[in-house]
Chains A and B, each alone.
Chain A
Amino acid sequence: MELMGIWIPILSIVTYIPLAGALAVVFFLPKERTGAIKTISTAIVLLDFVVSLPLWFLFERGREGYQFVEKASWIPSLGVDYHFGIDGISLLLILLTTLMGIIAVACSYTAISERQKEYYVLLLLLQTFMIGTFCSLDLFLFYVFWEVMLVPMYFLIGVWGSDRRLYAAIKFFLYTLAGSVLMLLGIIALYFYNTTGFLGYKGLQQPPTFSIEKLTAVAAGMPPELQIWLFFAFFFGFAIKVPMFPFHTWLPDAHTEAPTAGSVILAAILLKMGTYGFVRFSLPMFPDAINTPWVLGVVVTLSIVGIVYGAMVTLVQKDMKRLIAYSSVSHLGFVMLGVFALNMAGLQGGILQMVNHGISTGALFLLVGMIYERRHTRMISDYGGLARQMPIYATYFLIMALSSMGLPILNGFIGEFTILQGAFAKSFWWAFFAATGIVLGAAYLLWLYQRVFFGEITNPANASLPDLTAREQVTLLPLVALALWIGLYPKPMFDVLRLPSEKIVAAVGGRTVPSPALARQSPAAEKETSLSVGAARP
């Protein structure tokens, strides 16, 4: 980025502000000064958010390719570069990450009372690693961030989690690690296909590189059977992270046992890594594999099973946090279905729904965390009639529950509607099953709401609960505002997503179904769209 003639590596700055902050806390603040640690941590995440805001305003919507690019040689012997850059997809996710960083720190003030220094240091480290993952344009660098991210999360769950935290933490780590090491082999295979070849495949004899752009082109030209192998190598890495059915079993445990901030970040950001991986890598890299009917069939079937099964399991949960965790399985199934509809509507809807899920599910975890702090129980049966005692809390909860179930004027509706549109264009049955998921979603959320908030206060322990404090409301307000913004006027989001989505859809060779935002485009933009479709693979 140029500012007054000086080149500023803004992505690196956004990425490493939390890391620098974490080091400062480690070395300059003794652990007894908890107040100062909280203040400094908050200041750091706020600063990071402020620094990331120019990305939104300076991002050129009409420009193809990656922006704010930074590139330097890192391990030339292997062809590894330090290569950062973003497109519209990563832009949204980075902004979501910096925003969620603030909320994660702010919601921990009173919830975390032990080993506070370590806690905030880990949160800040996690922040750096997550932003780095979204910024990376080099597969090797991406992999480094992708893996190292697991470490702070492991400790956040393991130290500050609830009863079964040890089990949940190691399960989370092992599951995601097992998936990502297979992805590593996929990366190595790509590397060799580009250079000297392997396993009987003659390589392209090009200079070694891990550049995502270059390797995407290389991968798309691979023979179909190799594409299928590599698609599945990457698939395991991403599908476990998403998580797709049947790889989802780590998620309820991790979510339930994690401290509130951990659950919020898991739901809002970490799960998005998986879907982001599918959008960024799987789709443009392995079009032939994806267009193989059985491969697409497997992925879509798993997504639909995830939607329906996830929703049905959600219905029977007794623990609020577990309930919301399982609802993530269903929602992420939705995202996957949209992405694998392989058309503009589905893809844009899927990406937007990633953000939406981060906002609404993140907020729901926050809300559950707030009541847990007051009552130290998450069991639905312990509550009832809270609306009388905590009207403000009830209002926020209602807004976010409605957002999560996809009520019009809130964000979830836009995402789900667009995904359904894309899915319908592909197949009636896809849309049909997805729609049952929406119905079930309304059922479990409204039923939850009814049991927790309506009726008389049956449990005397709930009779004198204080309502939300100003600080708690401040952590929730930005999420409510975002939910309304996306619900009422999603065009800015679709504008940012249009070009990268078109590129991906063209690369994967799907048909274009205009999304609502596209339908409102000027004729010139329409023409541009059809042009890029014309360039699509047959």
Chain B
Amino acid sequence: MKVSASDWLLLSPELFLTAAGLLILSISAFFEKAKEEFLAFLTLLFTGITIGLVAFVSGYRGRGAPIFAGMFIVDNFAVFFKLLMLLSIVLTVLASIQFVGRAPYPAGDYYALLLFTGVGMLFMVSGNNLISIYVALELMALSSYILAGYFKLEIKSTEAALKYFVLGAFSSGVLLYGLSLVYGIAGRMGLPELAKLFESQAKSNLLSVGILLILAGLLFKIAAVPFHVWTPDVYEGSPTPVTAFFSVGPKLAAYAILARIFYVGFPKFHADWGLIIALVSAATMVFGNVAALLQTNVKRMLAYSSIAHAGYALMGVLGFRTEFGLWGILVYLLAYTFMNFGVFALVVFLETKGYAAESVADFNGLARRNMSAAVVMLVFLLSLAGIPPTAGFIGKYYLFTAAMKAGYAWLAVLAVLMSALSLFYYFRIAAAMFFSEAEGAPLKSSYALTAAVLICAAGTVVVGVAPQPFVEMLRACVIRTP
């Protein structure tokens, strides 16, 4: 295997982030609790440098070709996901500073784990080979299991970690079994090679089983019905900034490899199995939305809401053969990152103010106590419900378009109706914030959290009002298949 210097250069963001994580882990022992904010600052700095490296690398000519003997590829698609994932880490750190600072656990490990999750995610989206993707996935997954249980003295947090680990390990097993079957038939692991092979080879039942198992493993990661059961418990039990992170970061990575594997590796797949994806998508959005209607716990409600959103995103997978499929998913994920993180950041805000942030009632009268927070939350909720002119509307618009174009008009009808229905539970929060007469002292947010919320709000509004530069940029990020 020949590895040139440019290969190392192209992988520098991942390498740097690994080193940064190790550094934070090793120096954290020297910081007492009161000074841990410096570690958060370091994490932000390192993540910022990594973002710079990704940006630098994206300007590198000839980066489109696979590197490390085809193990990785740094195409536009990967660059987009890397930037968005690193942004999600920045947001998570900003949302965590006060939250983790108050908790009686050392923060150094927390930030280091966050960075390791990041490393896994970055490798995942660059993966161009089933093995490299799988190993990166495990790195991400193992770090995130620990993050879920980081508040180890709280039963719910431990329960979340255990559930996440058991079910996550099981799904990884399913995925790995599928990969092994595919390898058994094809004798190779590189995605482009697989595509080339299957183009000429007749379909076999064994291959179908293998692909189905891979699909099941990935659907688990994006929390699609019927592989969603872990989500509400994990989202509810994890420390809220971690929940916020789980709802965007690892999900982005899962969508990315789902797109990469099926778009590049099994391009013929979506033509054959469209109906399965369509049914999973329909079941996911119906179940997610209906279950969310019944929740009174905010974090569980948002967990079901993110399940419903996975159902919408699957419409983009259906549309892979059309112009709007992958493009739509990218636009949608950009919107989703901002709005979903924003909502969770507001939950973090209430929790740092001493609310359990368990029930919708915790939002009562927020408009009177902090009008800006209430308005920003409203923007996120509107965006999640897909009301224009927000990012969420643009994202959903693309996905509906993809479903229509792919010929699944019934699914699009179901999706728009479910999307309208979702307003009902999102606006329970809005009603609590604005209609309730509850009085109280004004609530002030910390600077870091305010920054995180403002980034999300700016993203939600700007992508919604002036989507042109973003959608055009994302069109260039669609993977080019030969």
Complex CA–CA separation, A184 to B388 (angstroms): 12
- Asked if A159 and B416 sit within 8 Å, CB to CB, the answer is no
Residues of B within 8 A of A118 (CB): 367
Interface of chain A residues 109 through 152 with chain B (CB within 8 A) = 118, 143-144, 147-148, 150-151
Complex CA–CA separation, A191 to B404 (angstroms): 11
Complex CA–CA separation, A185 to B420 (angstroms): 13
- Asked if B387 and A75 sit within 8 Å, CB to CB, the answer is no
B413 within 8 Å of A by Cβ?
A: yes
- Asked if A151 and B417 sit within 8 Å, CB to CB, the answer is no
B442 within 8 Å of A by Cβ?
A: no
- Asked if A75 and B412 sit within 8 Å, CB to CB, the answer is no
Complex CA–CA separation, A280 to B413 (angstroms): 24
- Asked if A158 and B409 sit within 8 Å, CB to CB, the answer is no
Residues of B within 8 A of A76 (CB): 468, 472
User: Quick one: which of B382, B424, B472 contacts A174, CB cutoff 8 A?
Assistant: B424
- Asked if B420 and A174 sit within 8 Å, CB to CB, the answer is yes
- Asked if A74 and B382 sit within 8 Å, CB to CB, the answer is no
Task: Point out which of A78, A150, A159 has the most chain B C-beta atoms below 10 A from its C-beta.
Answer: A78
User: Quick one: which of A148, A182, A188 contacts B387, CB cutoff 8 A?
Assistant: A148
* A75-B468, A77-B472, A155-B434 as given contacts; A185 in contact with B387, CB under 8 Å: no
* A78-B471, A144-B389, A159-B434 as given contacts; A198 in contact with B416, CB under 8 Å: no
Residues of A within 8 A of B382 (CB): 151
- Asked if B434 and A148 sit within 8 Å, CB to CB, the answer is no
A446 within 8 Å of B by Cβ?
A: no
How far is the CB of B374 from the nearest CB of chain A, in Å? 10
How far is the CB of B285 from the nearest CB of chain A, in Å? 13
The count of residues in chain A whose C-beta lies closer than 8 Å to any C-beta of chain B is 36
Give the nearest-CB partner of B323 in chain A: A196
* A170-B427, A173-B427 as given contacts; A185 in contact with B468, CB under 8 Å: no
Interface of chain B residues 427 through 444 with chain A (CB within 8 A) = 427, 431, 434-435
* A173-B427, A182-B416 as given contacts; A199 in contact with B387, CB under 8 Å: no
B401 within 8 Å of A by Cβ?
A: yes
A278 within 8 Å of B by Cβ?
A: no
A189 within 8 Å of B by Cβ?
A: yes
Give the nearest-CB partner of A189 in chain B: B404
- Asked if B417 and A178 sit within 8 Å, CB to CB, the answer is yes
B101 within 8 Å of A by Cβ?
A: no
A177 within 8 Å of B by Cβ?
A: yes
A484 within 8 Å of B by Cβ?
A: no
- Asked if A148 and B388 sit within 8 Å, CB to CB, the answer is yes
Residues of B within 8 A of A155 (CB): 434
Residues of B within 8 A of A199 (CB): 404, 407, 409
B405 within 8 Å of A by Cβ?
A: yes
Complex CA–CA separation, A184 to B415 (angstroms): 12
Residues of B within 8 A of A174 (CB): 420-421, 423-424
Complex CA–CA separation, A189 to B401 (angstroms): 8
- Asked if A198 and B420 sit within 8 Å, CB to CB, the answer is no
How far is the CB of B274 from the nearest CB of chain A, in Å? 14
Complex CA–CA separation, A158 to B427 (angstroms): 11
* A74-B468, A77-B468, A158-B434 as given contacts; A188 in contact with B401, CB under 8 Å: yes
Task: Point out which of A75, A148, A170 has the most chain B C-beta atoms below 10 A from its C-beta.
Answer: A75
* A77-B468, A184-B400 as given contacts; A158 in contact with B435, CB under 8 Å: yes
User: Quick one: which of B393, B407, B435 contacts A166, CB cutoff 8 A?
Assistant: B435
Give the nearest-CB partner of B428 in chain A: A170
Residues of B within 8 A of A154 (CB): 427
**What does DSSP make chain B's interface, helix, strand, loop or mixed?**
helix
User: Quick one: which of B389, B423, B435, B471 contacts A173, CB cutoff 8 A?
Assistant: B423
B419 within 8 Å of A by Cβ?
A: yes
- Asked if A192 and B471 sit within 8 Å, CB to CB, the answer is no
Complex CA–CA separation, A199 to B471 (angstroms): 25
- Asked if B435 and A159 sit within 8 Å, CB to CB, the answer is yes
Residues of A within 8 A of B467 (CB): 75
How far is the CB of A5 from the nearest CB of chain B, in Å? 31
User: Quick one: which of A169, A182, A192 contacts B413, CB cutoff 8 A?
Assistant: A182
B369 within 8 Å of A by Cβ?
A: no
Complex CA–CA separation, A76 to B466 (angstroms): 11
Complex CA–CA separation, A184 to B386 (angstroms): 12
- Asked if A198 and B471 sit within 8 Å, CB to CB, the answer is no
How far is the CB of A74 from the nearest CB of chain B, in Å? 7
- Asked if A177 and B434 sit within 8 Å, CB to CB, the answer is no
B475 within 8 Å of A by Cβ?
A: yes
Instruction: Return the CB mask of A175-193 against B: 1 if under 8 Å, else 0.
Output: 0011001101100110110
Give the nearest-CB partner of A175 in chain B: B420
How far is the CB of B458 from the nearest CB of chain A, in Å? 16
Residues of B within 8 A of A166 (CB): 431, 435
How far is the CB of B371 from the nearest CB of chain A, in Å? 8
* A170-B431, A177-B423 as given contacts; A185 in contact with B412, CB under 8 Å: yes
User: Quick one: which of B413, B431, B434 contacts A185, CB cutoff 8 A?
Assistant: B413
- Asked if B404 and A192 sit within 8 Å, CB to CB, the answer is yes
Residues of A within 8 A of B393 (CB): 144, 147
Instruction: Return the CB mask of A61-92 against B: 1 if under 8 Å, else 0.
Output: 00000000000001111100000000000000
- Asked if B405 and A198 sit within 8 Å, CB to CB, the answer is yes
Residues of A within 8 A of B401 (CB): 188, 191-192
Complex CA–CA separation, A150 to B323 (angstroms): 32
- Asked if B431 and A184 sit within 8 Å, CB to CB, the answer is no
Give the nearest-CB partner of B468 in chain A: A75
* A75-B468, A147-B387 as given contacts; A158 in contact with B420, CB under 8 Å: no
Question: Lowest 6 CB-CB distances: which A-B pairs, in order?
Answer: A181-B416, A144-B388, A177-B420, A178-B420, A77-B471, A75-B468
**Which positions in A face B, CB cutoff 8 Å?**
74-78, 118, 143-144, 147-148, 150-151, 154-155, 158-159, 165-166, 169-170, 173-174, 177-178, 181-182, 184-185, 188-189, 191-192, 196, 198-200
Extra inter-chain contacts (9) besides given A118-B367, A184-B416, A185-B404, CB under 8 Å: A148-B389, A170-B424, A173-B427, A178-B420, A185-B400, A188-B404, A192-B401, A196-B323, A199-B404
**Which positions in B face A, CB cutoff 8 Å?**
323, 367, 382, 386-389, 393, 397, 400-401, 404-405, 407, 409, 412-413, 416-417, 419-421, 423-424, 427, 431, 434-435, 467-468, 471-472, 475
9 contacts between A and B (CB under 8 A): A144-B389, A150-B387, A159-B434, A173-B423, A181-B420, A182-B417, A188-B412, A192-B401, A196-B323
